[in-house]
Structures are given as C-alpha cells and as structure tokens.
Amino acid sequence: MRPLLKRIKDFRSEAIKLTQRKLSLLLGFKKTTVADLERGKVKLTIGLLTRYILNFRLNPFWLIFGKGPMQISESFHATLEAAMAKQLEVQFFNAEDDISLDALSEHNLLIPIEHHRSYIESIKAGKWDARTLGSISIVKIPKTGGILRTFEIENDRMSPILLQGDQVCCDLIEDSTTIQEELFCIVVSFTHGIMPARTCFDAENSAFSLTFDNVRFNKPLSIPQTDVLELWEIKRRITTMSNDNTQPAINELLSEIKALRKYVEENKR
C-alpha cells in the first residue's frame, strides 16, 4: 500500500475511529467512496481532501510528509481554511445554510466525481446542500460567458475521446427539446447519473436517445424527458494540472473523428 493511502486509512481508524461506510456517509459521498479511496480505486482529489480537512481537521502536512500530528489544532484549522479558500478558490458555506441555485448560477462550478450524486440531489431539490457541496471549486476560464459547468468524467463510455478522470467545460442547453441531431453533451439524469453521450431528443417518445463511442457501451440508451434534470453541451476538455493553452477544442476532435469514420466507411466498400 502506498504511504499516502496508508495514512488516509490510519487517520480514519486511529484519529477519528470511523468505519469506511460511516465516514463516506458523513462526508456526503456514496457508501463505498472511502473504501475505494483507501484501495487506490478513487483519486484523492482536492475536493475530497478538502472535506477531510474541513470536517475532521486532517493535517495535510502529516498526510503528505508523514510528520507532525494527524489532526491540526482548532485555531490553525481556521487559519488553514481561510488560506485554502483564497488560494484554491474554493467556496466554503455555513453548514446550516442552504444556498439557492440562482446564487451560484453565474459561476463555472467544477463538479468532481465524488460530488455527482450530491449535485444531482441539489438540482432535484432546487437548492444547494452546503454540507455536501461546500467544497466545490470555481473554475475560471478566460473569454467565456454564459452559464458554464465543468464536470469530471466518471467512466469510459466515450473512450477514446474522453476518459475517466477527464474534465470537460460545458454550456447549458436552455431548451433541450430542440436537439434534433446528435450533440456531444453531459447528461444529468436522476436515475443514471452524470455521463457524457451523443444526445438527441426523440419527440415521438418524449425521451432522450444517448449513444456512446466505447464499443463496450454500444447499446443506445433511452432516458425519459422527465428523468433528465439538465443537459450541457461539451465545449472543451480542460486540465487543472497545466497552463498549456494548446488543448484542442472538443468540437475539433469530434470533426476529426467524424472524418476518420467517413474515410473508414468509404474504404469498406
């Protein structure tokens, strides 16, 4: 087991003495998240680390370097919280408050995998639950406007163009019933979760038809219109690990793949 993952496990079992399932629920995640994290199946993202620090005073210096106490003091916790809010542009809300959706509509929120379900439940309820969404990051992308969201991809349904862990910046589709041809979207479904797909609206059946590039998911998926909470058009794949501005636009990649498919089909004949 890698040292960092071992320290995550030691913190849970020795400092706060919680089961994996109990800790997952207290952090607002699905019940297997902590178990998957400790086994290395889930990445330790900034959002996830922030929840440990805010809720249980995890000492990030001990976690990274293995030195010092497992938990930071109350006073240092307040100082660190303020520093993180400024440096990482993370929004911290009072756990007793409910934040309206409109209050954050102008921000481009990064929705990491571990917050997908919380995001869906907040959209369904019409308000943010600060206890589970208090550490969502705000992504600032120059020369962009409108209502934006950045989603972390949970699976490989759209491989090879998008892989698990990729992040995509999207524009809100105001009237999703106007999608007549396949559009590259993030679909926010109460039943099926948050996923990328080529999407069009089937007016006859009042449903959205989803198709995927990965051959393992080659069966189209039909989702009733009432089950789709939001649709976001994918505009760009981004990374928070680099300042490289040469990242190609998603639409350009799609055009290249479409041309390649056409070439393959023509040469089959």
AA identity, residue 215: V
Q: Does residue 182 have a pLDDT over 60?
A: yes
Long-range contact pairs involving 43-47 (C-beta distance under 8 Å, separation at least 24): 43/165, 44/4, 44/8, 45/112, 45/113, 45/114, 45/152, 46/88, 46/90, 46/137, 47/110, 47/112, 47/114, 47/115, 47/135, 47/136, 47/137
pLDDT given at position 211: 92
Q: Name all domains of the chain by residue range, CATH numbers in brackets.
A: 3-87 (1.10.260), 141-258 (2.10.109.10)
**Is 35 within 8 Å of 46 (Cβ atoms)?**
no
User: 7, 60 in Cβ contact below 8 A?
Assistant: no
Q: What is the mean pLDDT of the chain?
A: 76
In the chain the first and final C-alpha atoms are separated, in Å, by 53
Burial class (CB in 10 A: 0-12, 13-18, 19+), 247: exposed
More confident residue, 219 or 82: 219
Query: What is the reported pLDDT for 222?
Result: 94
The Cβ-side half-sphere exposure at 144, using a 13 Å CA radius, reads 17
Residue 91, SS3 per DSSP: coil
Amino acid 248: pLDDT: 46
**Residue 141 DSSP class:** -
Global pTM reads 0.54
> How would residue 199 be classed by pLDDT, with cut points 50, 70 and 90?
very high
Considering only CA atoms, which of 94, 114, 120 is closest in space to residue 36?
114
Question: Residue 12: its pLDDT value, please?
Answer: 94
Per-residue confidence (pLDDT) for residue 240, from 0 to 100: 40
